[in-house]
Structure 1
Amino acid sequence: MSRIKLFLFLPNLREQGIVLALVFLFAGFSLATPHFLRITNLLNVLRQISLLGIISVGMTMVIISGEIDLSVGAVYGISAVTCGLLMRAGHPIWVAIIAAVMVGMLIGLSNGVLVNYGKISSLIVTLGMLNVVRGSYLLITQGLPVFLSSQTVCDPRLPLFFFLGQGRVFDLIPMLTIFFVAIVILGYFLCHRSLFGFYLRAVGGNARAARASGINVERTKTLAFMFVSTLAALAGILNLSFLSSVQGIVGAGLELDVIAATVIGGTSLAGGEGTVLGTVIGVLIIGILRNGLVLLGVSPFWQITLIGGIIIGAAAVDVATRKVRG
Structure 2
Amino acid sequence: MQKNLSTLLLCLASCLGAGATAGEPVEVTMADRPLPAVNAWAALGDRQAQGELCRRYKTGQGAPRSAADALLHCGRGAAMGLRSAQVWLGDLYLAGEGVARDEALAYQWYMTAAEAGQAQAKFSLYRIYEMGLGRPADRPTAARYLREAAEGGDLQAIEALKKIEAGWRPPVDPAPAQAEVHYLKEQDVLHFTGAPGMFTSAFYRLAAAPRGQVALTVRELKNDPQWAAMASVCVVAEAPSDFACFKLFRTAPDSAVLGASVNTLSADQKAEHDRADLPGQFTVDQTVLVGIDAEAGSTLLRVSIDGRLISVHQIDFRPELIRLGCSTAVCEFKFE
TM interval, short-chain normalised: under 0.3
* Larger RCO (CA within 8 A; separation ≥ 6): 1
Give the greater-gyration-radius structure (CA).
Answer: 2
Q: Report which of the two has the higher share of helix.
A: 1
